Amino acid sequence: MGCSQRSVGSLPGVGPKRLTALEAAGVFTVADLLKRVPKRYSDRRSSLPLDPVALKTVVASGNSEVTVEGRLQRVRRIFTRRPGFNLVQGEVIDGDGRTLRCIWFNRPYLAKSVDESKLVLLTGQLRQGRSSIELMNADISDPAAARGIQPQYGSLGGLGDKALRRLMAAALDALGEEPRLIDDPVPPELLSKRGLHPLGQALRELHRPADDTDILDLVNATTTAHQRLIYGELFAMQLEMAKASLAIRGRRKPHRYVIDDRLRATTKAVLPFRLTGAQRRCLGEIVADMNSATPMLRLLQGDVGCGKTIVAAMAALVAVESDLQVAFLSPTEMLAEQLAESLEGLFEGRHEVGLLTSSVEDRLTVSDRLSKGELKLVSGTHALIQDAVGFDRLGLVVIDEQHRFGVKQRLGMAAKGTVPDLLLMTATPIPRSLALAVFGDLSLSTIDELPPGRGIVQTELLEDSQRAEAIRIVQQAVVAGGRAFVVFPRIDNDDAGAASLSEQGVLYRKALGTSVGELTGRTEASERKRLLDDFRGGEISVLLATTVIEVGIDVPEATVIVIEGADRFGLSQLHQLRGRVGRSSRGGRCLAVHSSSCSPETLHRLSDFASTADGFALAELDLKTRGPGNLMGLEQSGFSQWTPARLASAVQWLEAAREDAFAFVEALETTSSTRQRDLGVAKILGMAGG
């Protein structure tokens, strides 16, 4: 049996209980185990001498992980008054009699298990203690077995790092000298074309790095083995996108749009203002796609407040004036409600707009009218994707905040009609380095210009001890007739100490009195509508909220937003929240309240936010510092666990993976039946774990 199919239970040390735990963690075969590559590496190829000058130099440099060699002496347990806390102390002595103090937390067994006569390697963190330099929580290993570059795995299926290293060694021995025993999802001709190793060889190099491997290449995921894994993941992602794209683009639309003088006159009558040059350009690109014989597959993106909704609404007008139906899909009920309200106000009775969410009482009536073609425009949530919802002549699907939907959900919506056009929208600017990976061959339209008459939003950073200043500024805005948002990362308190609406919100209510409303994901739909109407009308001046107001809320009278717990948000989300104010010529103020104990790195990130108004620049910074999962909810596209370092090294492979995947599927398209093509793609995705 090949290594790919061999049960992990066949490895030494894996009994029934351990096997159950590993299978619960998704590890069923030896190949599954080997695909769990090290999270980091420890360089134990050489030992640091216990020379005081050398030790001080390492501590001063900040590169504090070191490996030292010697014998452990005087290892004893130190009793403390703190319940549940154990301290073990000792010292390592080298051949020249030099010593280094060692400290371990919560490892009481060491006091009795250390053999003081044996030579050991100690790998841990150096720090400057009160009276001397100390080695903290060092890993103790045998010099004969632990020399070299040691992989670090963390934990998996209840196994700690040491146990995982032993199990991985057994798995590598099972793999033997023939790495091709692991099924490789990438066709060999593509590996040869790109100069990449087979998967088995790459995994061996990552689990047992050669002594001459550059440790920085391992840390930064730039080894040839890492490149093979990165290319393989990208190839699998692009393969699925290629299959989906060809399924859409390979069909011809049965419907046509009527674009004539009557439509142009209607558009002028409906538009409340003149579009910007960027809006006109993007609308032209969209209409050109709609007017083609094959279905549109386009992404419309732009910074906060750039006017994407009006562009999508004009595209919808083209469809409904041609007697076709349009569906707007949003990730939340509130966004769907706000979009329906905006469309109704824009079309002023010319076209009825339906609403379909799980909270709509007459959703069966709405669904029935859609299926009969009596309703041409609908705004809804995931309820639109349900099998029970059908359309008569669906011509255009607009998916707002598309990054919150998976590929299958987008395709499910597209399958509602007979080859409808698909327009995706996002208010989260996507770095160009990610656009190809996430969207394959999706056409891209970017609104890179804000409408005239927008004021400047000034951003200020405040520590939580300065909250009274934030409350004072909100009071001033209310007295001046404005509106204010106060946003919290959580509704209730948590152990991590994040600012919460239930605790800090009391301070705002006490200072601002009856002019305060509260809006969260728990707010009922009817109450939510009343609150937003009262907020726009001025009956409520201050809205205490969670991030449900991040998108879709357009209140020009809002001039101040306070973001409590700003250190808990990424740059792109902070920018989206800031976009709730400054939507008129009066401009606005954004007060980012952060913990006084947040790290220097977090403060630097917040400073970037305060000094940068460009959403695209902030998205690039967020990508580099927090990774893509935090940037735009990319768990739907497979990037959520990628570190910034891995993503940076992957950029060079995006184009190659896309080219190879689309060519592969197109070749299957011409030489196989649809079923054979789908089976071929499914086999590769299954081997890749997709």
Residues 443 and 465 in one domain: no
Q: Say what the alpha-carbon torsion angle 408, 409, 415, 421 is, to the nearest 10 degrees.
A: -110
> What is the residue range of 137's domain?
46-146
| Domain end position, chosen among 122, 146, 170 | 146
Phi, psi for residue 331 in degrees, rounded to 5: -80, -20
Instruction: Say which CATH number the domain at 343 has.
Output: 3.40.50.300
> Does 512 reside within a domain?
yes
What is the model's pTM?
0.70
Report the distance separating Cα 293 and Cα 291, nearest Å. 7
Residues 161 and 124 in one domain: no
- Give residue 181's pLDDT: 63
- Give residue 637's pLDDT: 43
Residues 483 and 534 in one domain: yes
| Domain end position, chosen among 591, 612, 633 | 612
Q: Which two tokens stand for residue 171?
A: 């798995």
Q: Which two tokens stand for residue 318?
A: 């083209």
Residues 201 and 133 in one domain: no
> Does 323 reside within a domain?
yes
Whether 162 and 91 have beta carbons less than 8 Å apart is answered as no
> Does 661 reside within a domain?
no
- Give residue 590's pLDDT: 97
- Give residue 640's pLDDT: 44
How many separate domains does the chain show? 4
Report the distance separating Cα 249 and Cα 199, nearest Å. 32
Residues 410 and 268 in one domain: yes
Residues making up the chain, counted from first to last: 690
**Over the stretch 486-519, which tens digit does the pLDDT of each residue have?**
999 999 887 566 788 998 999 999 999 878 999 9
- Which one, of 251, 297, 614, 237, lies nearest residue 444 by Cα? 297
Residue-wise DSSP of 359-375: T-TTHHHHHHHHHHTS-
- Which one, of 490, 486, 606, lies nearest residue 558 by Cα? 486
Residues 6+ apart with CB under 8 A from 202: 196, 224, 225, 226, 228, 229
Whether 231 and 222 have beta carbons less than 8 Å apart is answered as no
> Does 360 reside within a domain?
yes
Residues 155 and 108 in one domain: no
Residues 505 and 585 in one domain: yes
Residues 497 and 570 in one domain: yes
The DSSP H or E segment spanning 165 is helix 161-175
Residues 275 and 409 in one domain: yes
> Does 649 reside within a domain?
no
> Does 236 reside within a domain?
no
- Give residue 3's pLDDT: 55
Phi, psi for residue 410 in degrees, rounded to 5: -65, -45
Phi, psi for residue 594 in degrees, rounded to 5: -125, 165
Report mean pLDDT in 10-residue bins for the chain, 690 residues: 72 90 89 88 89 88 83 90 84 92 91 89 89 90 86 86 89 73 84 92 91 87 88 84 74 89 92 92 96 90 88 96 95 90 90 93 92 95 90 94 66 80 80 59 83 88 94 93 94 76 91 89 89 92 92 87 93 90 89 90 91 84 60 42 56 81 83 58 52
- Which one, of 390, 361, 358, 360, lies nearest residue 374 by Cα? 390
Residue-wise DSSP of 432-478: HHHHHHHHTT-EEEEE--PPTTPPPEEEEEEEGGGHHHHHHHHHHHH
